[in-house]
């Protein structure tokens, strides 16, 4: 058996966990560091993937699609300045309460401040313009570390959807994408990932409903004012 690539299996678990938590749409922008995530998304039959080369355009497409459907969209980019191009779209998503997830591939800590290409500090890159920042760390075959991934995926989806929808940033470090593991962990790693995908949690968001008393008050106000004006919409006072 060909030893599996740790990052590929880790990416497969992450994408499947996001899908189990309710994700359906993914927007991919090319880059070598993010290749395993793109590959995992494309191979998952439950995910609809679109490729948009320019990250700025991809960001605004994701915001528009999420606004239209009301469901989260996942953006995937490589490391470095590529991830910074999402910033304008995420600011809009934060202000308009649009559910968008951003998965940025990152270089490992030993590459930081070492003049490595496409390497910047991506920790909390988008500041207060995201509802949450989740650091997924560096892939680790330890079962305890693998078990954390479905939980983090479900938490990311819940945060993006409720109580106030908005963007969520997931940062994932990787040393050498697509490099096989040494030794022969083969079926053990694949089997662990398969089992975790099978048991990945769903993430049903809390649904806010109108207060019954407020509805009655509105009905009564309409009865008293047959020629009234109702103002509604995202910017309604």
Enumerate domains of the chain plus CATH numbers: 6-198 (3.40.50.970)
Mean pLDDT across 147-154? 93
Where residue 124 falls (left for φ over 0; alpha for ψ -120 to 50; beta otherwise) is left
Q: Give residue 3's pLDDT band: very low, low, confident or very high (50, 70, 90).
A: very low
Question: Are the C-beta atoms of residues 62 and 89 closer than 8 Å to each other?
Answer: yes
Q: Give residue 1's pLDDT band: very low, low, confident or very high (50, 70, 90).
A: very low
Q: Is pLDDT at 72 greater than 60 in this prediction?
A: yes
Mean pLDDT across 156-178? 88
Higher pLDDT, 52 or 191: 52
**Closest by CA position to 69, among listed 44, 48, 91, 95:** 48
* Distance between CA atoms of residues 158 and 162, nearest Å: 6
Return the pLDDT at 28. Answer: 98
Q: Is pLDDT at 178 greater than 70 in this prediction?
A: no
What's the pLDDT tens digit per position in 93-133?
Answer: 999 999 999 999 987 766 665 555 566 677 899 999 999 99
Return the pLDDT at 180. Answer: 56
Q: Is pLDDT at 156 greater than 90 in this prediction?
A: yes
Question: What's the pTM?
Answer: 0.80
Sorted by sequence, the CB contacts under 8 Å of residue 156 that are 6+ apart come out as 18, 21, 101, 132, 134, 168, 170
Q: Supply the DSSP symbol for 80.
A: T
Q: Supply the DSSP symbol for 10.
A: H
The chain-wide mean pLDDT, for the chain, equals 85
Return the pLDDT at 189. Answer: 77
């Amino acid at each position: 058996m060909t030893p599996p690539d740790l990052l590929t299996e880790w990416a497969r678990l992450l994408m499947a966990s996001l899908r189990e938590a309710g994700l359906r749409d993914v927007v991919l922008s090319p880059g070598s560091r993010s290749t395993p995530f793109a590959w995992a998304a494309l191979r998952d039959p439950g995910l609809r993937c679109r490729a948009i080369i320019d990250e700025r355009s991809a960001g605004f497409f994701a915001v528009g699609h999420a606004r239209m459907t009301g469901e989260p969209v996942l953006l995937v980019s490589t490391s470095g300045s590529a991830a910074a191009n999402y910033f304008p779209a995420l600011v809009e998503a934060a202000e308009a309460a649009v559910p968008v997830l951003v998965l940025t591939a990152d270089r490992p800590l030993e590459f930081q401040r070492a003049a490595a290409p496409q390497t910047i500090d991506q920790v909390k890159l988008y500041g207060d313009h995201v509802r949450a920042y989740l650091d997924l760390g560096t892939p680790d075959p330890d079962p305890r570390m693998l078990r954390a991934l479905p939980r983090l995926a479900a938490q990311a989806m819940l945060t993006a959807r409720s109580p106030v929808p908005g963007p969520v940033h997931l940062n994932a470090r990787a040393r050498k994408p697509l490099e096989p593991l040494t030794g022969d962990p083969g079926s053990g790693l694949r089997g662990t990932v398969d089992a975790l995908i099978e048991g990945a949690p769903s993430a049903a968001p809390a649904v806010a409903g109108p207060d019954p008393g407020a509805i009655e008050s509105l009905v009564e106000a309409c009865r008293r004012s047959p020629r009234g004006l109702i103002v509604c919409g995202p910017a309604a006072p």
